[in-house]
Amino acid sequence: MIKTLNHLPHPAEDAAALASHFTDLAPPLNDRQAHLEASRCLYCYDAPCVNACPSEIDIPSFIRNIHQENVQGAAQTILSANILGGSCARVCPTEILCQHACVRNNAEECAPVLIGLLQRYAIDNAHFTEHPFKRAAATGKRIAVVGAGPAGLSCAHRSAMHGHEVVIFEAREKAGGLNEYGIAKYKLVDDFAQHELDFLLEIGGIEIRHGQKLGENLSLGELHQQFDAVFLGLGLAASKQLGLADEDAPGLLAATDYIRELRQADDLSQLPLADHCIVLGAGNTAIDMAVQMARLGAHDVNLVYRRGLEDMGATDHEQDIAKANQVRLMTWAQPQEVLLDDQGQVRGMRFARTRMENGRLINTGETFELAADAIFKAIGQRFDDNTLSDPLARELKRQGERIQVDEQMRTSIPGVYAGGDCTSLDQYLTVQAVQHGKLAAQAIHAQLMLNVEAA
């Protein structure tokens, strides 16, 4: 459990009541709803929705299949482009991707085709009797994948399809990465991440070794020697710091740490609850944290951001979710001091009012205080440099703190590829991580087969 919050009480409601607050955010379509929604699609040639999809799913094709009652064909189309299409259908910000690009998304039509819900309908109702993809003939090549998050799992599955043997090295006790540990509980319900993982592994040729962490009991140099190729799907394992005094005081912690505990909890009534809480940040993780604290029973939840609403990383859709859950969005306020009580525990925070002046964010000189039993940081993740501490890993070319890769996900070290949040591509969506893994697997396969032909 979260030691820094041990002094806080538990929620007042029992486990059953709390669980009812974390049911599906977007209930699935039934057969009739899916058929009617699919009929709205114009099946555009050179469809803009496809161009807006990071994983290049043939959206008109799978929707046409649904309309023709070929749900299995629809699912196969989705999964051939995105093996984690089920989770992406649930967590993707479709409102700024495919649905935003839909030609029906205009004032006259009122609403785009609900592509995300149709994608979920197809995946959930396909009922494959066996895995829909077959492995190619064994190549004798072995690929190491570091990290069992969306990027790593995508790379592993596509590599296994090509006939390679894959070993995934995962630090945690469960695979799934962000889908298992970092997404709001009401977005991925019913242990979906693990069910999707089980389905992915049905292709065969993939082994997962848990408790393996680069920089501790694993080194890039060893992997590079032992395997024909290495893919790094490390994610961003460390949280950014505020740079304030008393940042390690009881009651102040990273939002991702609490979300991880919440997602793994069998009984939500045993979680610590901050009746008055502050969430610092402006992205989807900040929204997830604030909303979940409100659903656990907190009476006063303030999400505080140093800039304006229009600068928030969270989409309008996510902001609406926060407002619907009585989360107060406070802008133009920058953390200035952690306030502690006589026991040295968090009692609130002092903020400086901010404004933009000549394109720069400045303090106005005015301050205010907010009371809080706990403060959750959701100000961004950073790279854990300890993971790349061995001699070979230190040779990786970096862009800032991220690993530099080219369009084929190749790093500066031959035979080493990377994808997902740990790379320099500045793309932080699950669907983009899946695409990175797929592109890397294709590049790895092409290079390995080229080497075979040359030999």
Bridge partners, 170 (sequence order): 210
The per-residue pLDDT for 26 is 85
Q: Taking 70 as the threshold, does the pLDDT of residue 454 lie above it?
A: no
pLDDT at site 156: 98
pLDDT of amino acid 428: 79
Spatial neighbors of 344 by CB under 8 A, at least 6 apart, are 249, 250
- pLDDT tens per residue, range 352-368: 999 999 989 999 999 99
Q: What is the residue-averaged pLDDT of the chain?
A: 94
> CA-CA distances (angstroms) from residue 165 to 94, 158, 252, 333, 370?
34, 11, 43, 51, 54
Of the candidates 7, 166, 149, 9, which has an alpha carbon nearest to the alpha carbon of residue 91?
A: 149
Q: Is the Cβ–Cβ distance between 184 and 292 less than 8 Å?
A: yes
- Band of pLDDT at residue 108, cut at 50, 70 and 90: confident
Domains along the sequence of the chain with CATH: 31-124 (1.10.1060.10), 142-237+383-454 (3.50.50.60), 239-381 (3.50.50.60)
- Tell me the pLDDT band of 383, cut-offs 50, 70 and 90: confident
Question: What phi, psi does 221 have (nearest 5°)?
Answer: -60, -45
pLDDT tens-digit readout, 1-44:
688 999 999 999 999 999 999 999 988 999 999 999 999 999 99
pLDDT tens figures, 159-199: 999 999 999 999 999 999 999 999 999 999 999 999 999 99
Q: What pLDDT shows up at residue 355? A: 95
Inter-CA distances, 112 with 32, 62, 96, 102, 429, Å = 18, 16, 11, 6, 21
CB 168 within 8 A of CB 209: yes
Structure confidence by residue, pLDDT tens digits, 276-298: 999 999 999 999 999 999 999 99
Mean pLDDT (whole number) for 337-348: 96
Q: Tell me the pairing of strands 142-146 and 229-232.
A: parallel
pLDDT of residue 453: 63
What is the pLDDT averaged over residues 257-261? Answer: 96
Query: Which pLDDT tens digit goes with each residue over 293-314?
Result: 999 999 999 999 999 999 999 9
Give the C-alpha separation, 407 to 274, whole Å. Answer: 45
In the chain, the percentage of residues whose pLDDT exceeds 90 is 88
> How far apart, in whole angstroms, are the C-alpha atoms of residue 421 and residue 285?
14
Q: What are the φ/ψ torsions at residue 159 (nearest 5 degrees)?
A: -65, -40
Q: What is the pLDDT of residue 296?
A: 97
The whole-angstrom separation of Cα 314 and Cα 181 is 19
Q: Tell me what pLDDT residue 424 has.
A: 82
Asked if residue 427 has pLDDT above 80, the reply is: no
- pLDDT score of 57: 97
Give the pLDDT confidence score for residue 5 in this predicted structure. 95
Residues contacting residue 362 through CB under 8 Å, at least 6 positions apart:
354, 355, 356
Q: What is the mean pLDDT of residues 212-232?
A: 96
The confidence score (pLDDT) of residue 327 equals 97
Share of the chain above pLDDT 70, in %: 98
Q: CA nearest 149: which of 430, 438, 444, 445?
A: 430
pLDDT for the residue 107:
78
Bridge partners, 239 (sequence order): 381
In the predicted structure, residue 455 carries a pLDDT above the cut 60: no
Q: Identify which of 440, 444, 437, 442 has the alpha carbon closest to the alpha carbon of residue 84.
A: 437
